[in-house]
Amino acid sequence: MFFVLLDLFLSYVKIGFFGFGGGYAMLALMEHEIIRVHGWMTMPEFIDIIAVAEMTPGPIAINSATFVGYNVAGLPGATLATLGVILPSLLLIIPAAKIVSYFYQHRGLQRALTGIHPAVIALIGFAAIVVGESAMVDLKSWAITAGCLALLFLRGTHPLLLIALGAVAGLILYA
């Protein structure tokens, strides 16, 4: 059990250090560590945890770390995974804020940040594709996705309402 807890903590420290772009950009790295490297859960289980993490208050990275840690090793796992994912931010944010504020107008930093933006978009897109491959299992799931995307893009529907509508659609279509 000790080694599982250590692996959970170190995996989430790694995710926290290299998960540039926020929680959604971290999903690709989380999927890699949780499913491919350690085999702690299957893709459908991971998708379920991400769905629950999105619906609960707080950052998706912290929520999913807590849920995955609990799923793997109970309360100690939840605690260590959560600490692991937030520790890098605690260690890096103050020095990074000082450096960025001092050099913000520097052309080199601006160029680096401009290059990071598309990389973050690629990570978010990759996470969407990986999650989509597992979640898009039949015509019903494609219909729910298409309906939610239409409501989001055409009507600007609030994300919480989309989640509720997706749940209702799932209750109806998969009854």
Give pLDDT tens digits for 60-78. Answer: 889 999 999 999 999 999 9
The stretch 22-47 carries a mean pLDDT of 87
Q: Is the predicted pLDDT of residue 110 greater than 80, yes or no?
A: yes
Confidence of residue 122 (pLDDT cuts 50, 70, 90): confident
Please indicate, yes or no, if residue 26 is contained in any of the structural domains. yes
Q: Is residue 54 part of a domain?
A: yes
pLDDT value of residue 20: 67
Q: How many residues are there in the chain?
A: 175
pLDDT of residue 80: 97
Whether 6 is covered by a domain: the verdict is yes
3-state helix/strand/coil string of the chain:
CHHHHHHHHHHHHHHHHHCCCCHHHHHHHHHHHHHHHCCCCCHHHHHHHHHHHHHCCCCHHHHHHHHHHHHHHHHHHHHHHHHHHHHHHHHHHHHHHHHHHHHCCCHHHHHHHHHHHHHHHHHHHHHHHHHHHHHCCCHHHHHHHHHHHHHHHHHCCCHHHHHHHHHHHHHHHCC
Q: What pLDDT is stored for residue 10 in this prediction?
A: 95
Confidence class for position 21, pLDDT limits 50, 70, 90: low
Domain count, the chain: 1
The answer to whether position 10 is within a domain reads yes
The answer to whether residue 17 is domain-embedded is yes
Name the residue range of residue 97's domain.
2-105
Q: What is the pLDDT of residue 145?
A: 92
pTM confidence score: 0.65
Does 130 map to a domain? Answer: no
Mean pLDDT over all residues of the chain? 88
Q: Is the pLDDT of residue 19 over 80?
A: no
Residue-level pLDDT at 108: 86
- Give the pLDDT confidence score for residue 7 in this predicted structure: 96
pLDDT at 151 (0 to 100): 95
The answer as to whether 174 is a domain residue is: no
Per the domain annotation, does 75 fall within a domain? yes
